[in-house]
């Protein structure tokens, strides 16, 4: 059975001891877990991770972790020094996942957000991604971590936009602990429908973000949720379904979030109402 999570970015982009209060809120709402963003990973200390992990275990709340690269840490950059920093960052992300006791690292793990070069991807970039993600997957396997590569919209990357391209990439990488991460917000921009991409991702789909088309409350807006859950049901998906939204303007990833207005009267309405809606769809489609 799939588990439902809430993204910490709904409330904050800061990972500190204040996250404990949010963990309790997430648990009280009835979620199975929380997705923890690993922003500035080199500054995240083990003593903080240990404190947060103990609190998660205490209240029986699971976690996953998400990450992304910066312009100076990029696995597909032509500059070898930037690629090496990208590898160092990805290894650090994997180590943090292991320290948190989670087997899931999701997000834009192949390149950087806000990435446009006025052209499409090249074969050289594709080959770099295949080579280096294989290397990182082998490192992650020893840590029992699965890498879930997110396909995101054209305004945030030119490299991986659709589920179809994601499946092609995973086939080329050829590692069991590398999966596809889909997000209904990005699918709403890049896919022709919601059902077909999910069905064609059978055997490769490892993670789902459930977001309104405006990143607001799931179940509002025009995402075709029946197509989403019909597809998930048909492929026997049993991975995470995580509600992702943003609390407001964030200096750390302004273009990727681009939330300049209130998405709900009360920020807690996004996860609370979204959870109720997702549970109803899961029940309807036997997930």
d(CA 132, CA 252): 25
CA distances from 240 to 24, 92, 259 (A): 19, 23, 24
pTM of the complete model: 0.96
Mean pLDDT, residues 110-134:
90
**CA nearest to 31, candidates 275, 282, 206, 280:** 275
Task: Look at residue 256 in the predicted model and tell me its pLDDT.
Answer: 63
d(CA 142, CA 137): 9
Q: Is 174 left (phi over 0), alpha (psi -120 to 50) or beta?
A: left
DSSP sequence for 41-95: GGG--HHHHHHHHHHHHHTT-EEEEEEEE-TTS-TT-SSHHHHHHHHHHHHHHHH
Q: Could you give the angle at which helices 19-29 and 269-285 cross, rounded to 10 degrees?
A: 40
pLDDT > 70? residue 250:
no
Q: What percent of the chain has pLDDT above 70?
A: 96
| Residue 243 DSSP SS3 | strand
Domain 3-285: what homologous superfamily? Answer: Divalent-metal-dependent TIM barrel enzymes (3.20.20.150)
pLDDT > 60? residue 252:
no
**CA nearest to 23, candidates 40, 5, 42:** 5
pLDDT > 80? residue 253:
no
pLDDT > 70? residue 202:
yes
pLDDT > 80? residue 247:
no
Task: Look at residue 254 in the predicted model and tell me its pLDDT.
Answer: 47
Q: Is 40 left (phi over 0), alpha (psi -120 to 50) or beta?
A: left
pLDDT > 50? residue 117:
yes
Mean pLDDT, residues 173-194:
98
Q: What is the pLDDT of residues 125-170, one digit of tens each?
A: 999 999 999 999 999 999 999 999 999 999 999 999 999 999 999 9
Q: Where are the domains of the chain?
A: 3-285
| Residue 197 DSSP SS3 | helix
pLDDT > 80? residue 221:
yes
pLDDT-based confidence at residue 114 (cuts at 50, 70, 90): low
């Amino acid at each position: 059975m799939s588990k439902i999570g809430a993204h910490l970015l709904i409330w904050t982009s800061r990972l500190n001891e204040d996250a404990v209060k949010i963990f309790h809120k997430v648990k009280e709402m009835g979620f199975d877990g929380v997705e923890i963003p690993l922003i500035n990973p080199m500054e995240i200390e083990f003593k903080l991770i240990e404190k947060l992990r103990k609190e998660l275990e205490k209240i029986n709340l699971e976690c996953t972790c998400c990450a992304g690269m910066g312009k100076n840490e990029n696995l597909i950059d032509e500059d070898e020094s930037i690629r090496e920093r990208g590898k160092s960052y990805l290894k650090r992300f994997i180590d943090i996942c292991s320290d948190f006791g989670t087997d899931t690292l999701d997000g834009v793990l192949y390149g950087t957000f806000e990435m446009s070069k006025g052209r499409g991807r090249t074969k050289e970039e594709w080959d770099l991604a295949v080579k280096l993600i294989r290397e990182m997957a082998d490192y992650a396997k020893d840590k029992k971590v699965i890498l879930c590569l997110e396909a995101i919209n054209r305004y945030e990357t030119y490299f991986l936009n659709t589920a179809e391209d994601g499946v092609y990439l995973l086939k080329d990488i050829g590692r069991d602990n590398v999966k596809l991460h889909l997000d209904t917000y990005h699918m709403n921009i890049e896919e022709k429908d919601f059902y077909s991409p999910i069905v064609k991702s059978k055997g490769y789909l490892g993670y789902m973000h459930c977001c309104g088309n405006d990143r607001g409350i799931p179940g509002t807006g025009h995402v075709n949720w029946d197509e989403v859950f019909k597809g998930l049901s048909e492929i026997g998906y049993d991975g995470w379904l995580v509600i992702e939204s943003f609390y407001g303007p964030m200096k750390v990833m302004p273009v990727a979030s681009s939330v300049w207005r209130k998405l709900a009267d009360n920020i807690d309405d996004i996860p609370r109402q979204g959870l109720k809606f997702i549970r109803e769809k899961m029940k309807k489609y036997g997930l």
